[in-house]
Amino acid sequence: MGEEGTEGTIHLLCLAASSGVPLFCRSSRGGAPARQQLPFSVIGSLNGVHMFGQNLEVQLSSSRTEDTTVVLLVGLEELTNIRNVERLKKELRASYRLIDSFLGDSELIGDLTQCVDCVVPPEGSLLQEALSGFAEAAGTAFISLVVSGRVVAATESWWRLGMPEAVLLPWLVGSLPPQAARDYPVYLPHGSPTVPHRLLTLTLLPDLELCLLCGPQPPLSQLDAQLLERWWQPLLEPLRGCLPLGTRALPAGFPLHTDILGLLLLHLELKRCLFTVEPSRDKEPSPEHRRRLLRSFYTLVTATHFPPEPGQPEEKAEEAIHRAQVARACYLVLGTEEPGTGWRLVALQLGPRRLLLLLSAQSPTYGLRGLATHTLHALTPLL
């Protein structure tokens, strides 16, 4: 959706595939929603170029000037047979907060990695046991506990959700304004693109919510205060211990090397990740800058250094043969390699886990792989 770190304006433009009618346009500048909107004349011109390219089997995906990027999103097949454009526009408004959160400077990274943003609670086994009991009492197998858009714990059925809904559902909950309870219709792009499910949310503590994915039953009124108190009142302190994890991801006191400024740990088989830029907050760069550096580094190493994961359909036979010869570690130095200047980024892959670290300028380059290996071994029991 535009270059990482760009200070210009990004516009996301959605057009109906058949008619070219603009369905919505959302704008972001510097990671925040922008009031500046695309003039209708510009939208019309872009649609004209898109239609012209279609006739030549060329797809226009984006248009860029010195300080502006426009990303064109053509409607899905299900949206091509539009009977009432104005009604569709109104229905799409329910997605604006989710769309804006993708365009903004989010603290999450699942949109890029296609892995679920998770946290590691201090008393995970207790929370998991309560979640399983509550799921049985509520009559649905799909339940998760979410803090600030990150999954704290979930039932086995919830973890079996396909992509991208496994990433989108907690992200959606994190993007919505605070509310004690919700009954929200959702379409699952992979599992149920035409028939809506119900996403029920119940706020246990500020930014900490229970999420239930279900059909017509149970009604929201059945999930009353008495049922919540029965399962969650005894766990009030463990629940409170989850609140700081919204940005930290790791339990308090987890030992990390003092040079680590941020980390991204992915489990490529489970499709889950831990992402934080909280370590050593008193050091430069800012958390926003750290997130941008790690996102850009992830894009770089995924595209150029690490092979596709086993079983991915796009992997060719010859790529599978040479996979063992591909590097499993790499690093990048921003600035010079002299200690005390620039920042270091290192990536390491062992088995199904991939670790990316952002390190301070004091970290010597000769020790990067050893530090990454030690950190990955320490994090392995968590994910």
Listed by start position, the domains of the chain span 9-55+65-103, 109-248, 260-305+325-380
Indicate the residue type of 138. A
Residues 375 and 45: their CA atoms lie apart, in Å, by 51
Evaluate whether 356 touches 344 at the Cβ level (below 8 Å).
no
Give 148-183 pLDDT, tens digit per residue: 999 999 999 999 998 889 999 999 898 888 889 889
For residue 354, what pLDDT is reported?
95
Q: Name residues of the chain where pLDDT drops below 50.
A: 1-6, 73-78, 310-311
- Among 347, 353, 348, 340, residue whose Cα is nearest residue 382: 353
Q: What is the pTM of this model?
A: 0.82
Q: What class has domain 260-305+325-380? A: alpha beta
For residue 339, what pLDDT is reported?
63
**β-sheet bridge partners, residue 273:** 117, 266
Q: Which residues contact 26 (CB under 8 A, 6 or more apart)?
A: 11, 12, 33, 96, 99, 100, 103
CATH H-level, domain 109-248: superfamily? Dynein light chain 2a, cytoplasmic (3.30.450.30)
Indicate the residue type of 124. G
Q: Which two tokens stand for residue 121?
A: 């609670």
Q: Which residues contact 81 (CB under 8 A, 6 or more apart)?
A: none
